[in-house]
C-alpha cells in the first residue's frame, strides 16, 4: 500500500516559515571548531549569525527561551554540509566535510563513506546546540540510487551515482514508459533499477530501492522504504497524480519501489541510540528530504515564475520556476513539483569539477582577477570530466572538448568559464522553446557564485541580471525543509 501524499503550501512554507566505530557507525574523533572559508573542508565553521535575507556579519543572534533549531544536511557530489537555523532563518552553526576514502575491490565504496560523513556532521554540531534541534532533513544528489536489503537496510550492490549511465537498460525502459518520459535517459533511477534487476542473480524478494537522501535519513529514523516526490521523479513517480503510474506498477521490479511523501514531511523521531550518543532531544523528528539542486533553489528564495537558480558546484544544474510542467527526455529536461508551480530544468555534467582537474583554488582566484569579463572568448569548449552529457543535450557519447589550449592560462580559464556559461544559456533557451515560463532573473548557488568575474561573464552571455543567492548552500534549503516538517506536523 503506497503512502498518500499531503501537499501543504510548498513555497511559502519553505521560504517564509514565520508568515563512529564500525559496530554502531558513530565515528570517534575530536570536533574541530575553527573558522572555515571558501572550499576548505573537514572543519566546522564558526557559528555565523545571519538574518534571513541579510548578512549581519559576526553579530550575536540570541535564542528566545524555549526556541528550537532546525538541521539541514546536504550530500553533494564532492562533500557534505550542514546548516542549523532558527525559525526566522538565522544560521547558528554550519560546517562541511569531505567524503573519506573507503575502497572495495579497488573502487570507491560510497555507502560507508556517506554514512561516516553523516555521523561526522552530527558530531561537528556544537554540543550545546544539539539539545535544541527539533527536526532534521537531508538532500542528496538526484538519481543517486541504492539497492538495499529490505530487512537490514544494508546495500546489496554498490550505489549507482547520479551521473552514471546504464544504456543496457534503456531499451527496456523505453518499451514500457511513455515517449520522451523523464525515465527515458540512461542516467535515470529507473534505468539503474532495471540494469540491476536484469544483471544481478541474488534474491530479489528482499530488495528495496532507496535514493541517497532516503538511505541517509533511514539511518536516522529507522523506517525503511520512505522517499519524497522530488527524489522519486526519476524512477517514474508522477507528482501531479501523486502515485506511481500503472505502466510502472505492472513491472515485476515495482516491488522494490519506496512509498512517497511530500518533501519536508515528518517520518518519525530520531532513533534513540543516536539521540543518546549525540545529545539530541527525545522529541527530535526526521523529515523527508529532496535533491541537492532543489534544496539550493529553496535556499535562494526564488519565489516567482521566471526566477531561476543556477547551481555551480561540481556540476551545473539549472532550475526555473514555471507555471507549465515540461518533460522531455530527448534533452534531459524534467520538472519537479513545487506546490502549484513547477521547477523545470536539468543538470549538466559540466561544472566546477572540470576546473578542479586543471586549476588549484589559488590559481582560479589569481587568474580570474586578470580576465576581462566584458570581452567574449573566441574559444569554443565543452568542458566535461569524462565522456557523456545529460543536459542540455542527452548524449552518453559526447566527448570532452578543451582544445585548442592557448599558451595563456588566463585565456584558457576565460574560455572554460565562458563555455560553461554558453551551456547554461543553451539550457535556459531550451526550456523556453519547450514552453516553460521565460526566465527573467538568475540567482546563483554553489561555489561558482563566489567568482565575480564569472558572474559578469554569465550576465553578458545570458543577457539577464545574475546575482548570488541570499543563501548559497543547499544545506540551508534542507534546513528549511526540516523547519516545515515541524510546522506541518
The total number of residues shown for the chain amounts to 489
Q: Taking residues 341-370, report their average pLDDT.
A: 95
Q: How far apart are alpha carbons 320 and 224 in whole angstroms?
A: 32
**pLDDT value at residue 61:** 60
- C-alpha R_g of the chain: 21
**What are the start-end ranges of the H helices in 313-408?**
352-358, 361-368
**pLDDT value at residue 97:** 97
Q: What is the pLDDT of residues 188-237, one digit of tens each?
A: 999 999 999 998 777 798 999 999 999 999 999 999 999 999 999 999 99
Cα-Cα-Cα-Cα dihedral sign, residues 171, 173, 178, 180:
negative
Burial code of 136-165, b = ≥16 C-beta within 10 A, e = fewer? Answer: bbbbbbbbbbbbbebeebebbbbbbbbbbb
Angle, in degrees to the nearest 10, between helices 409-433 and 452-462 = 40
Higher pLDDT, 134 or 297: 134
Q: How far apart are alpha carbons 237 and 220 in whole angstroms?
A: 24
Q: What is the pLDDT of residues 397-453, one digit of tens each?
A: 999 999 999 999 999 999 999 999 999 999 999 999 999 999 999 999 888 999 999
Q: How far is CA 404 from the centre of its chain?
A: 33
**pLDDT value at residue 488:** 67
Q: How far apart are alpha carbons 114 and 13 in whole angstroms?
A: 29
**pLDDT value at residue 390:** 85
Shortest CA distance to 93 belongs to which of 162, 45, 39, 127? 45
CB of 149 within 8 A of CB of 218? no
**What are the start-end ranges of the H helices in 39-135?**
110-124, 127-130
Model confidence at 36: pLDDT above 70 = no
Q: What are phi and psi of 426, to 5 degrees?
A: -65, -35
Model confidence at 8: pLDDT above 60 = no
Q: Which residues pair with 445 in a beta bridge?
A: 311
For residue 157, what is the DSSP state?
S
Higher pLDDT, 426 or 472: 426
Q: Taking residues 329-341, report their average pLDDT.
A: 84
Higher pLDDT, 45 or 87: 87
**pLDDT value at residue 345:** 87
Which residue matches cell numbers 523505453? 174
**pLDDT value at residue 200:** 79
Shortest CA distance to 227 belongs to which of 242, 245, 209? 209
Query: pLDDT band at 489, cuts 50/70/90?
Result: low
Q: Beta 316-322 vs 341-348: how paired, if at all?
A: antiparallel
How far does the chain reach from its first CA to its final CA, in angstroms? Answer: 22
Q: Beta 290-291 vs 226-228: how paired, if at all?
A: unpaired
Q: How far apart are alpha carbons 320 and 345 in whole angstroms?
A: 6
- How many CB atoms neighbour CB 404 within 10 A? 9
Higher pLDDT, 19 or 112: 112
Query: pLDDT band at 1, cuts 50/70/90?
Result: very low
Percent of the chain clearing pLDDT 70 (strictly above): 87
Sheet of 441-445, strands arranged across: 334-338, 341-348, 316-322, 307-312, 441-445, 466-468
Q: Taking residues 145-160, report their average pLDDT.
A: 96
**pLDDT value at residue 473:** 86
CB of 143 within 8 A of CB of 195? no
Q: What is the pLDDT of residues 100-111, one digit of tens each?
A: 999 888 889 999
Q: What is the number of alpha carbons within 13 Å of residue 398 lying toward its C-beta?
A: 21
- How many CB atoms neighbour CB 308 within 10 A? 30
Q: Taking residues 27-52, report their average pLDDT.
A: 34
For residue 395, what is the DSSP state?
B
Q: Taking residues 127-137, report their average pLDDT.
A: 97
Q: How far apart are alpha carbons 26 and 401 in whole angstroms?
A: 43
Shortest CA distance to 70 belongs to which of 17, 6, 148, 146? 17
Q: How far apart are alpha carbons 315 and 259 in whole angstroms?
A: 29
**pLDDT value at residue 485:** 87
Q: What is the pLDDT of residues 10-27, one digit of tens each?
A: 333 333 333 333 333 333
Q: Taking residues 70-94, report their average pLDDT.
A: 96
Q: What is the pLDDT of residues 278-330, one digit of tens each?
A: 999 999 999 999 998 889 889 887 889 999 999 898 999 899 999 999 988 77
Model confidence at 43: pLDDT above 80 = no
**pLDDT value at residue 402:** 97
Q: Do you find a cis peptide bond into 106, omega within 30 degrees of 0?
A: no
Q: How far apart are alpha carbons 319 and 303 in whole angstroms?
A: 12
* pTM for the full predicted model: 0.74
Give the chain's mean pLDDT.
87
CB of 69 within 8 A of CB of 86? yes
Counting other chains too, the contacts that 213-216 makes at CB distance below 8 Å and 24 or more residues apart are 213/75, 213/138, 213/139, 213/140, 213/289, 213/290, 213/291, 214/140, 214/258, 214/289, 215/111, 215/114, 215/146, 215/148, 215/153, 216/73, 216/75, 216/114, 216/115, 216/118, 216/138, 216/140, 216/289
Model confidence at 474: pLDDT above 50 = yes
Query: pLDDT band at 80, cuts 50/70/90?
Result: very high
Shortest CA distance to 159 belongs to which of 99, 205, 233? 99
**pLDDT value at residue 40:** 31
Amino acid at each position: 500500500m503506497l503512502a498518500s501524499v499531503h501537499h501543504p503550501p510548498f513555497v511559502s512554507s519553505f521560504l517564509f516559515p514565520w508568515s563512529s566505530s564500525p559496530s554502531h557507525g558513530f565515528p570517534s574523533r575530536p570536533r574541530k571548531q575553527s573558522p572555515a572559508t571558501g572550499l576548505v573542508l573537514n572543519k566546522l565553521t564558526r557559528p555565523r549569525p545571519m538574518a534571513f535575507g541579510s548578512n549581519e556579519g559576526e553579530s550575536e543572534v540570541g535564542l528566545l527561551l524555549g526556541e528550537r533549531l532546525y538541521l539541514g544536511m546536504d550530500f553533494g557530489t564532492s562533500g557534505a554540509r550542514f546548516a542549523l537555523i532558527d525559525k526566522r532563518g538565522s544560521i547558528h552553526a554550519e560546517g562541511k566535510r569531505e567524503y573519506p576514502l573507503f575502497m572495495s575491490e579497488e573502487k570507491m565504496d560510497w555507502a560507508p563513506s556517506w554514512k561516516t560523513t553523516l555521523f561526522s556532521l552530527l558530531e561537528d554540531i556544537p554540543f550545546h546546540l544539539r539539545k535544541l534541534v527539533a527536526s532534521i532533513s537531508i538532500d542528496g544528489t538526484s538519481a543517486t540510487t541504492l539497492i538495499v536489503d529490505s530487512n537490514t537496510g544494508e546495500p546489496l550492490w554498490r550505489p549507482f551515482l547520479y551521473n552514471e549511465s546504464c544504456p543496457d537498460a534503456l531499451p527496456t525502459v523505453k518499451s514500457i514508459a511513455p515517449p520522451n518520459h523523464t525515465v527515458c535517459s540512461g542516467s535515470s533511477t529507473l534505468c539503474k533499477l532495471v540494469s540491476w534487476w536484469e544483471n544481478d542473480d541474488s534474491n530479489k524478494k528482499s530488495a528495496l530501492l532507496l535514493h541517497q537522501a532516503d538511505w541517509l535519513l533511514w539511518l536516522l529514523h529507522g523506517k525503511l522504504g520512505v522517499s519524497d516526490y522530488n527524489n522519486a521523479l526519476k524512477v517514474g513517480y508522477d507528482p501531479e497524480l501523486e502515485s506511481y503510474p500503472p505502466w510502472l506498477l505492472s513491472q515485476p521490479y515495482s516491488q522494490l519501489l519506496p512509498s512517497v511523501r511530500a518533501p519536508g514531511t515528518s517520518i518519525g523521531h530520531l532513533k534513540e541510540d543516536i539521540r543518546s550518543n549525540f545529545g539530541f532531544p527525545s522529541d527530535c523528528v526526521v523529515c523527508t528530504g529532496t535533491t541537492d539542486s532543489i534544496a539550493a533553489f529553496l535556499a535562494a528564495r526564488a519565489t516567482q515564475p521566471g526566477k531561476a537558480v543556477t547551481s555551480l558546484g561540481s556540476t551545473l544544474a539549472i532550475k526555473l520556476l514555471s507555471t507549465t510542467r515540461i518533460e522531455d527526455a530527448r534533452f534531459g529536461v524534467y520538472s519537479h513539483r513545487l506546490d502549484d508551480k513547477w521547477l523545470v530544468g536539468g543538470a549538466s555534467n559540466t561544472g566546477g569539477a572540470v576546473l578542479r582537474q586543471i586549476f588549484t583554488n589559488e590559481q582560479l582566484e589569481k587568474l580570474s582577477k586578470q580576465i576581462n569579463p566584458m570581452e567574449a572568448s573566441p574559444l569554443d569548449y565543452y568542458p566535461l570530466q569524462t565522456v557523456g552529457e545529460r543536459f542540455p543535450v542527452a548524449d552518453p557519447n559526447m566527448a570532452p572538448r578543451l582544445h585548442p589550449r592557448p599558451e595563456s592560462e588566463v585565456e584558457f580559464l576565460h574560455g572554460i568559464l565562458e563555455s560553461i556559461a554558453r551551456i547554461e544559456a543553451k539550457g535556459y533557451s531550451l526550456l523556453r522553446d519547450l514552453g516553460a515560463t521565460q526566465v527573467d532573473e538568475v540567482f546563483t548557488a554553489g561555489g561558482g557564485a563566489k567568482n565575480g568575474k564569472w558572474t559578469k561573464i554569465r550576465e553578458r552571455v545570458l543577457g539577464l541580471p545574475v546575482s548570488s543567492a541570499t543563501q548559497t548552500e543547499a544545506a540551508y534549503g534542507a534546513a528549511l525543509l526540516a523547519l516545515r516538517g515541524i510546522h506541518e506536523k
